[in-house]
A and B are shown apart, each in its own frame.
Chain A
Amino acid sequence: MHAPALKPVLAIYTGLFLLFLYGPMLVLAILSFQTGPEGGPQFPIVEWSTYWYRDLAGLNPPSRIAPLPIESGLFRSLTLAFMTTLVSTTLGVMSAQAFRKKFAGSGIVFYLIVLGMMVPGVLVGLGTALLSNTFGVDRHWWSTAFVLHVVYTFPFAFLVMLAIFNRFDSSIEEAAWSLGVTPIRTFRKITFPLIFPGVLSAMLFCFTLSYDEFSRTLFTSGRDLTLPLAIYGTFSVEIHPNIFAFGVLTTLFSLCLLVVYAVLMTASVRRARQTALQEEA
């Protein structure tokens, strides 16, 4: 580029931009090591300690600060995310498979599916709550909230799988069909191993989105809170560094997921490549 001063200026700017993105989390991580129970959620750090981490684990003697209600919420959120991942990824693979051929109405169906990730959570949440009220259906995290989690994450799985099928070489499948292999067997033995890296990505998307989702869950989970709802509940009251410690832990958990994903991905890409080579040989 001609303007020679521009590139370093933009590089510095991008560095500052990243600081803007990461700064609050860094401050939060530092403050999570505040001493307790008298240390507040602000600077200065009175004394470095792991008090609030022990507080989360329930290791501290009872104090005036109520512990975060995260234990049962964690179980519910993980179960919900797991159920959502299974259903959304299955629906996503099926729908994307259907889209490999143009069919009448495919345009409308495409927008209908993508709408699921675009419509704000409050609106679908409200609508679903109204529906369940009218039909006398109880609202639970595993029923009404689960249904909406799928509405939200299924489009992501669908788009990921569309992108995968877009670059998919279907001549191998056609070879199998022409040899008389049933479509279902072809899918299981040939298509699925080849698209598995995509399926993994779709699952990662679905799991993390569902695990973190709360605006759809707010009106639809009934009495039992999921993890994000428990966090949301603390917004209205005074906050303590225990929520910062929790933030650090949940971030580490998500990063662990990312690492697991990376490992599985590398393995499956290698396997897919081998399958493809075998087919060619």
Chain B
Amino acid sequence: MTVLTSGSALASAASAAPKPRRSLAAYWLIAPGVAWMVLFLLLPILMMVYVSFWTQTTFKVEPILTAKSWVAFFSSDTYVGALWTTIRIWLVVLTATLVVGYPAALFVGLMVRNKTTATALLVLCVIPFWTSFLIRVLAWRPMLGGQGAVNIILEKLHIISQPIEALLFTELSVVIGMTQIYCVFMVGPIAFMLGRIDPFVIEAAQDLGAGFWRIFRTIIFPMSLPGVVVGAIFVSVMVLGEFATAAALSGHKVNLIGNIIVTQVGSLKWAFAAVAGVVLTAVIAVIVAVLLRLVDLRQEL
């Protein structure tokens, strides 16, 4: 849904037809929004960068510039470890959402040629989003626990004889939870791009004797790539900024950068929190920039 709108937004931003009248009016209309974003979005981020160089004492920070917090961050095994954990979880979840989501998107976007059915299926995927994010995370606890639904079902089917304890309060449970929550952001954009493939192109390929895999490799996948990239950007940004899923499902075993920020703020270590924040910002910026390099979105959408 978001992609639908942002896709057309990109297009409209690029192709807004120039009109001669009321040239100043646009600036008056846009000014409040821009002011709001500069004051409450850009300024806080810049402040975070600035404070990361302040001096941290026991309970407060003082505006005396130093790189101490930065040195402390990168010489601590806990913090650097959290950075690697964040990147590892991001990679695993990104792959998992793609692998789990792509077949579903293939069905919704390509196989269902009836527009109403396709929309209904997409709406079914989106409805869980109307429920609270935190409740959705918490719902995995009774699923994955030692006496959880998954273990009970597996035991009833005689697949396992003893409950798998490793399902909950491990890295695996965090990955499962995140995959379920963010998968739809992958499915939506991909299904949207697949829905735009002209069925005659595929038919023509079939008539010329191409098998499914060949068609998939040469037509379907390349044409869905912008959707994959948009989905990957959504999933990446959200997973990298996460802390709640790890807090709820890992039993404090998984520490992401987000969790580090939360604990540092909790103990009033503002400068350390700011350093972690800047590191996270940098990681996200690099990943999004790389993803944007993969396809020219403005052109593809």
Contacts and interface: CB of A to CB of B under 8 A. Distances in A.
Interface residues of B, number: 98
Contact of B139 (A14, A27, A163, A228): A27
A86 interface: no
Contacts of B184: 21
Contact of A14 (B25, B103, B131): B103
B228 interface: no
B164 interface: no
A58 interface: no
B103 A127 contact: no
B54 to A, nearest CB: 9
A94 to B, nearest CB: 5
A255 B9 CA distance: 28
B284 A120 contact: yes
A120 B261 CA distance: 12
A161 to B, nearest CB: 9
A71 B112 CA distance: 45
Interface of B (DSSP majority class): helix
A151 B257 CA distance: 22
A122 B108 CA distance: 34
Looking at A17, A165, A212, A219, the one whose CB has the most chain B CB atoms below 10 A away is: A17
A243 B138 contact: yes
Interface stretch (A49-57, A246-254, A266-274): A246-254
A122 B248 contact: no
Interface in A134-177: 134, 147-148, 150-151, 154, 156, 158-160, 162-163, 165-166, 177
A5 to B, nearest CB: 10
Given A107-B13, A150-B40, A218-B262, A231 B19 contact: no
Interface in A98-116: 98-103, 106-107, 109-110, 112-116
B295 interface: no
B143 A126 contact: no
Contacts of B106: 10
Contacts of B38: 112
Given A102-B16, A255-B130, A127 B142 contact: no
Given A214-B244, A247-B139, A123 B280 contact: yes
Interface stretch (B68-76, B87-95, B146-154): B146-154
Nearest to B135: A247
22 contacts: A1-B202, A10-B104, A10-B106, A23-B143, A27-B143, A27-B149, A101-B23, A106-B13, A120-B284, A123-B280, A124-B41, A126-B44, A126-B261, A131-B43, A156-B2, A163-B8, A214-B133, A215-B244, A231-B132, A231-B135, A235-B248, A250-B132
B4 interface: yes
A166 B135 contact: no
A11 B40 CA distance: 46
B206 interface: yes
